[in-house]
Chain A
Amino acid sequence: MRQFQPPIRRRDLLAGAAAGTGLLALPAKAPAQGGTKKFDGLTLHVACWSTSYSEFLKNYIPEFEQATGAKVVYETPSFPIYNQRMDIELSTRAAAHDVINVTFIYSGRWVGAGWTTPLDDFIHDPAKTPADFDVGDFIPGTTTAFKDRQGRLHAIPWIADVHMAGCSRYDLFQQAGLKQPDTFDEMATTLNALKAKGGPVPFVAENHYGWTFIPYLHGFGGDVFAHPPDNLHPLLDSPEAVHAADFFSDMLRSYGPDGVLSYTYDQVLQSQKDGKVNYSTSNETFLVQMAAKDSKVAGTCSLSMMPGGPAGRFPDVAAHGWGIPVGSRNKDAAWAFIVWAMSKPLLLRMFRDHGYSSVTRASMIQMPEFRQHSMINGVDVAQLYLDTLKLGDKGYTVYRTVPPYPLVDREIDIAIQTIVSKQMSAKDAMQRAQQNSMKALQRAGVKL
């Protein structure tokens, strides 16, 4: 992690303010030196899970503190710990946090239960939101998950991650006369060919199967629910679902690394960056890091669209956004923080300083500078990203936004683990997942 260098940052800040970019939403109104600042003496508790964006943001927070007078307590626990804690905390409507990350698998649950604050009143209040913040700039596909039934927005997306496919050693593909697979059939033959060639382990996928398996489920013609959000009857034991589970588990078992079931997202990323694993269908934000400076495969990696199956191509979208818990007692300051953190100038600076930031603003993705940067070994990743998001607009990602999805998510995790570790056949495991999901949903008050 880069060290914070106050003098330079301060200069940047002044320059930004001088340019009148609205770098900070509030400083526009914050009086000049000597006067009291808008949030003097106030402590703001901000939490996100630990990922590159949230870690980079840490470096800039002193600027916010300086400009507003608020003290920011910023925490970034690891993903599972963050979710678990935030879920119980929100459920008690505690006032412990003011700004939180609304996690993609939980967005439906948290927004649906009314645990987060609708942001529309803030957005439409010109005193609280400068015009150049421009909520409309956020790509529609990134905000859908954060809308409640009345259409009110509950979080400002800082990321909308999508499924893509990527290989760390495209040179080995080329040597074997292979291309990145476009369909699941091609994927199976390609991985098989790679395996026969030796070299790095052919395939890996993150062990959060309620996320990584779904494009396969959809691709083979299956689905999670009958008609979300209105009819949540689970469909996990359909022949298509069983087939998909069988295929996916077989990929993991036959072509995955030893102990593939324990591979968390960070391990998947690291194993690809080290060139130990070649191909994976994973998150775009992880895959692009194969091209980072500390990667051993920066010169050989390549990305492609998530492969599809007989029913089509269904890469998923996972949006994370900044939201405000209903229990927060500092909602104005919380919103000011969100506006600051998601302001275009700051995101641009983060991008220039770290080569990476949030990718949810259409205007940023369209910038030539950004497009240039997102060319990885000849692949236009920004275009792949936009194309993928466009597919996501078709609506098949709605299943993920229904409140009880975390319950089914867990059943899918267990089912895939059970199949890969050969405790059950795909059919039995998916049947059990179906029964358990039905029970869990009924218990959560869902009418089936």
Chain B
Amino acid sequence: MNSRMLRAWSRLFCAAALLVLVLLPALWLLQMSFRHNAEIMGTNLLFRPTLENYTALWTGDFPASFGHSLLASISATLFSLVIGVPAAYALARWRFRFRQRMMMWILVTRMAPPIAFTIPFFLVFTYTGLIDTILGLAIIYVTFNLALVIWTMKGFFDAVPRSLEEAAWIDGCGVWSGFLRVALPLSAPGLAATGILCFILSWNDFFFALILTRTDAMTAPVAIVNFMQYAGWEWGKIAAAGVLVMLPVLVFTFFVRTYLVRGLMAGGVKE
């Protein structure tokens, strides 16, 4: 018993130590963001923290790009949910001949390398004026979010016992009112998790935003790269911006941690 306790504790200790080690690089960026630019590479951990990097960001163009990121990610998420969730439900409940193949096709759209989409989208966007717009970004984010919604939500709907809906149907409900009254409420946590995954995916995008935006819709990840520029790398600002960009993602991850696996099965959290 005692040796088992000991082993359990040493396992815990090992895991905790490894976790700290793994997170060190990220924590290093965090501490850098609180340093004065003059002592940005200091190794002394007892330094006087400053918020100057954050306030400098706040007064520049960064808040705007943060807003663009939020807007594009949220609208892409909502749109993908609105059209993806009914499709997922249909695929979960309706057995038809090409169902497997259709699921596979949906998954493949999600796996194609972004460069394949970027070339045609860039040209179409240039000629339609969608370039450098939030709407344009939201549209391109649907390309990878929709498949994710369909795959994950189908999984959640599969887990809802059919008998409950059948009872509702017998009571005279149509397919979609049964869906709204039974299946959807029962999958509410899954829906929230899926939405959050979509949000993270869109939020994390760098490649599309790099090519398809300029100033009016420039997202936060691209704005960071812009700090890597003239007059020496502004490491303090870069670190602070990095911390701000990872913050929403970390908060959301905490909420969806248990559902993450399923979302990942549909092809990874990010590009």
Contact = CB atoms under 8 A, between A and B. Distances in A.
A266 interface: yes
A379 interface: no
Interface string A270-297: 1001000000000000000000000000
A273 B232 contact: yes
A51 interface: yes
B132 interface: yes
A94 interface: yes
Given A78-B225, A81-B226, A270 B232 contact: yes
Contacts of A78: 225-226, 228-230
Contact of B214 (A51, A96, A266, A267): A96
Contact of B233 (A75, A85, A89, A267): A267
A51 B231 CA distance: 8
Contact of A75 (B210, B214, B232): B214
Given A94-B126, A96-B132, A50 B233 contact: no
A269 interface: yes
A327 B127 CA distance: 12
B231 A92 contact: no
Interface string B223-265: 0011011111100000000000000000000000000000000
Interface residues of A, number: 24
Given A75-B215, A78-B225, A85-B214, A96 B131 contact: yes
Most buried by A among B126, B127, B132: B126
A75 B216 CA distance: 10
Nearest to A88: B122
Nearest to B232: A270
Contact of A52 (B127, B215, B231): B231
A270 B232 CA distance: 5
Contact of A269 (B123, B225, B232): B232
A122 interface: no
A73 B215 contact: yes
A310 interface: no
Contacts of A55: 230
A77 B229 CA distance: 8
Q: Is the interface of B mostly helix, strand, loop or mixed?
A: loop
Contacts of B122: 88
A62 to B, nearest CB: 16
Nearest to B126: A92
A78 B228 CA distance: 7
A175 B226 CA distance: 41
Nearest to B131: A96
A75 to B, nearest CB: 4
B231 A269 contact: yes
Nearest to A1: B60
Interface in A259-273: 265-267, 269-270, 273
Nearest to A289: B231
Interface string A40-59: 00000001011110010000
A5 to B, nearest CB: 15
A233 B136 CA distance: 43
B35 to A, nearest CB: 16
A265 B230 CA distance: 8
Interface in B188-216: 210, 214-216
Interface string B95-119: 0000000000000000000000000
Contacts of B229: 50, 77-79, 266
A51 B230 contact: yes
Interface in A221-280: 265-267, 269-270, 273
A78 B229 CA distance: 5
A293 B131 CA distance: 41
A51 B232 CA distance: 11
A269 B231 CA distance: 7
B244 to A, nearest CB: 19
**Residue among A77, A89, A269 facing the most chain B CB atoms (10 A cut-off):** A77
Contacts of A92: 123, 126-127
A321 B216 CA distance: 24
Given A81-B225, A96-B132, A270 B231 contact: yes
Among B123, B216, B226, max chain A CB count under 10 A is at B226
Given A50-B230, A51-B230, A92-B127, 11 more contacts: A49-B230, A77-B226, A78-B228, A81-B210, A85-B214, A92-B126, A94-B131, A266-B233, A270-B231, A270-B232, A270-B233
7 contacts: A50-B230, A77-B226, A81-B225, A94-B126, A96-B131, A96-B132, A269-B232
Query: Ordered nearest first, which 7 A-B pairs have the shortest CB separation?
Result: A270-B232, A78-B229, A75-B215, A50-B230, A50-B229, A92-B126, A51-B230
